[in-house]
């Protein structure tokens, strides 16, 4: 028996206020891939991630993560790593960096029990790995955008996920920091045996680094190699796009027959 | 052991200040100030129902307020209505029902003014026991789920993804808030009880950068304002609930000035 796909969506529809946000999505991501999902604003990228995480139940269709419905996966203690688009709803929340990372352990620790030395050590190890150990005792509100990003990646990793889901991780970073981030994600993926799903509206940044690109604009356009073409991108974005990258980007687009 | 009315008032006041000072931190961090107002005002309906049915208004108040709070939560979660509109509608309806219940009960000798604005000097031993039992119970539950409530305040979505039972914890907090509101009515009354749940936490937010000092400042300001308010009101012969709330507000304004000046 082969291992279940990391993510498997079959005929998934999400509808808000009688309007489809995602239409008939079919997507299979094998374990261990580093996949970028690109598409214009309002294409349903965040929604797609939330469907995978189990935050949004689809109106129709089947969602499986490592072969299980997201809710059952979550109940069985197999948690997913999630980096939301908006990192802080309250910029001055009165906790330290280490405490934020420790929150990633709370689901594992269980209700009504306090984090032990093992949890602290796990959190510190992630901070060390992301080279921000020196920030551990800082208030979370005192960090720069790039530092905050790393803290939240550490928080997502301390959950010990097999799948890491990231929503627009590059949005607050300059070009160099974006490259660093994608490189670091690549290394983390290898070290921790992760499947990584990154959403971005920034085609160039994603396409340079990931192994596979999925184009989304309410529908999914996944095409077979050869490399992504201008036409495919234009179809996704609904307008002409600049060709920002060179070389072969292996990716697939499954187009719906109309 | 028989306490005089003054000792009873002091003991109950301090216990309630600790209870509300602690919950207040989460009310501020989770931005529940308006639902606190909604819960406390809808308590009027529950208290009046107690008079109508001849039951201790403590019980009807708790059931009624918790019911309204959970109904607001349900309506808003199902996306039927925005939360602020839901609160506005439910608490007005609950207060209107309260007026009708009072009318139907035909008891005109009830101390309505005491329920609206608090009358801590009039409470008996039985109420002191109720207050202590509720406060210990609520604080114990908050203590047990402390780390979960911090996480939920920080980010509910991430808390859910990290495996926390967010909906259960949200509903539980509303029930805890309702319990605290009902017993705190003895101190400051239905109209002013939300002040006790909002202002200490807001003051602490101004002064403290970390959760633990924030909790201490919130508790300290609530207990301080309650003690000073009780003594001052006795000395000046002012209404005690209003005096306490005015002192709390004063502390809040001072803390705002101080944090601005920093």
Token pair recorded at residue B142: 């908050």
> Is residue B261, in this structure, part of any structural domain at all?
no
Q: Cα–Cα distances in Å, from A79 out to A53, A83, A196? A: 9, 13, 14
pLDDT by residue (tens digit) across B26-60? 999 999 999 989 999 999 999 999 989 988 888 99
> Is residue B262, in this structure, part of any structural domain at all?
no
Find the closest chain A residue to B155 by CA distance: A89
Total number of domains constituting chain B: 1
Which ipTM value was assigned to this complex? 0.88
| Residue among A199, A150, A187 at smallest CA distance from A36 | A199
Task: Write down the pLDDT at residue A227.
Answer: 52
Q: Given CB atoms, is A80 within the 8 Å cutoff of chain B?
A: yes
Where in chain A are the domains? 85-160
Find the closest chain A residue to B140 by CA distance: A112
Token pair recorded at residue B151: 């996480």
Q: In whole angstroms, what is the distance from residue A114 CA to residue A4 CA?
A: 34
Task: Write down the pLDDT at residue A246.
Answer: 33
Q: Which residues of chain B register pLDDT less than 70? A: 1-2, 108-110
The answer to whether residues A174 and A167 touch, using CB atoms and an 8 Å cutoff, is: no
Token pair recorded at residue B38: 């909604």
Q: Given CB atoms, is B161 within the 8 Å cutoff of chain A?
A: yes
Q: In whole angstroms, what is the distance from residue A165 CA to residue B4 CA?
A: 62
Q: Kindly state the average pLDDT of the residues A34-50.
A: 87
Task: Write down the pLDDT at residue A43.
Answer: 82
> Is residue B214, in this structure, part of any structural domain at all?
yes
Query: Band of the pLDDT at A242, cuts 50, 70, 90?
Result: very low
Token pair recorded at residue B253: 């304004």
Task: Write down the pLDDT at residue A95.
Answer: 95
Q: In whole angstroms, what is the distance from residue A3 CA to residue A57 CA?
A: 24
- Residue contact A106–B165, C-beta within 8 A: no
| Mutate which: B78, B142, B155, B211, vs A, most A CBs within 10 A | B155
- Residue contact A79–B158, C-beta within 8 A: no
Token pair recorded at residue A142: 């005192």
Q: Given CB atoms, is B158 within the 8 Å cutoff of chain A?
A: yes
| Mean pLDDT of the residues in chain A | 83
Q: Given CB atoms, is A79 within the 8 Å cutoff of chain B?
A: yes
Q: Kindly state the average pLDDT of the residues A90-101.
A: 93
Q: In whole angstroms, what is the distance from residue A35 CA to residue A208 CA?
A: 12
Task: Select the residue of B150, B163, B205 nearest A107 (Cβ to Cβ).
Answer: B163
CATH number at residue B201: 1.10.3470.10
- Residue contact B147–A115, C-beta within 8 A: yes
Residues of B in contact with A79 (CB under 8 A): 161-163
Query: What strands lie across the sheet with A7-16, from one edge to the other?
Result: A19-29, A7-16, A60-65
> Is residue B101, in this structure, part of any structural domain at all?
yes
Q: Given CB atoms, is A16 within the 8 Å cutoff of chain B?
A: no
Residues of B in contact with A114 (CB under 8 A): 147
For chain A, how many helices (H) and strands (E)? 8, 9
B231: domain range?
Answer: 5-256
Query: Band of the pLDDT at A2, cuts 50, 70, 90?
Result: low
In degrees and rounded to multiples of 5, residue A27 shows phi and psi of -150, 130
- Residue contact B162–A104, C-beta within 8 A: yes
**CA distance between the termini of chain A:** 34
> Is residue B213, in this structure, part of any structural domain at all?
yes
Q: Given CB atoms, is B231 within the 8 Å cutoff of chain A?
A: no
pLDDT by residue (tens digit) across A197-238? 999 877 777 777 788 888 887 777 654 433 555 556 666 655
Q: Given CB atoms, is A159 within the 8 Å cutoff of chain B?
A: yes
């Amino acid at each position: 028996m082969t291992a279940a796909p990391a993510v498997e969506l079959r005929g998934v529809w999400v509808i808000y206020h009688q309007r489809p946000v995602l239409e008939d999505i079919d997507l299979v991501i094998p374990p261990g891939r580093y996949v970028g999902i690109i598409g214009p604003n309002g294409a349903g990228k965040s929604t797609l991630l939330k469907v995978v995480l189990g935050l949004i139940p689809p109106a129709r269709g089947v969602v499986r993560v490592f072969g299980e419905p997201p809710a059952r996966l979550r109940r069985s203690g197999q948690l997913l790593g999630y980096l939301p688009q908006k990192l802080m709803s309250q910029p001055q929340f009165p906790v330290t960096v280490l405490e934020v990372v420790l929150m990633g352990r709370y689901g594992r620790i269980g209700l009504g029990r306090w984090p032990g030395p093992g949890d602290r050590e796990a959190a510190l190890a992630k901070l060390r790995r992301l080279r921000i150990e020196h920030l551990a005792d800082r208030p979370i509100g005192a960090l720069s955008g790039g530092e905050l990003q790393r803290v939240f990646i550490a928080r997502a990793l301390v959950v010990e996920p097999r799948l890491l889901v990231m929503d627009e991780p590059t949005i607050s970073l300059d070009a160099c920091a974006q490259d660093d981030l994608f490189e670091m994600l690549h290394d983390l993926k290898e070290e921790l045996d992760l499947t990584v799903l990154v959403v971005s509206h920034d085609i160039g940044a994603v396409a340079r680094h990931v192994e596979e690109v999925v184009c989304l604009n309410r529908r999914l356009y996944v095409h077979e190699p050869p490399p992504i073409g201008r036409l495919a991108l234009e179809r996704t974005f609904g307008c002409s796009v600049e060709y920002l990258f060179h070389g072969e980007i292996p990716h697939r687009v499954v187009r719906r027959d109309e | 052991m028989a306490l005089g009315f003054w000792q009873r008032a002091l003991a109950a006041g301090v216990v309630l200040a600790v209870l509300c000072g602690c919950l207040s931190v989460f009310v501020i961090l989770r931005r529940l100030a308006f639902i606190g107002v909604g819960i406390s005002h809808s308590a009027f309906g529950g208290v009046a129902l107690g008079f109508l049915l001849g039951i201790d208004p403590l019980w009807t108040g708790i059931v009624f307020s918790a019911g309204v709070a959970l109904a607001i939560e349900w309506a808003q979660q199902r996306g039927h209505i925005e939360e602020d509109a839901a609160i506005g509608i439910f608490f007005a309806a609950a207060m209107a029902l309260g007026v009708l219940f009072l009318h139907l009960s035909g008891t005109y000798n009830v101390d309505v003014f005491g329920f609206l604005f608090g009358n801590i000097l009039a409470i008996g031993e039985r109420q002191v026991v109720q207050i202590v039992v509720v406060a210990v119970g609520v604080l114990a539950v908050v203590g047990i789920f402390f780390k979960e409530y911090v996480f939920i305040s920080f980010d509910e979505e991430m808390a859910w993804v990290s495996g926390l039972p967010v909906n259960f914890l949200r509903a539980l907090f509303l029930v805890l808030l309702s319990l605290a509101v009902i017993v705190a009515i003895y101190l400051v009354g239905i109209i002013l009880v939300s002040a006790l749940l909002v202002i200490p936490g807001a003051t602490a937010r101004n002064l403290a950068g970390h959760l633990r000092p924030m909790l201490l400042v919130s508790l300290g300001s609530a207990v301080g304002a309650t003690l000073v308010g009780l003594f001052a009101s006795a000395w000046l012969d002012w209404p005690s609930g209003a005096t306490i709330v005015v002192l709390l507000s004063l502390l809040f304004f001072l803390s705002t000035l101080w944090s601005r000046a920093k």
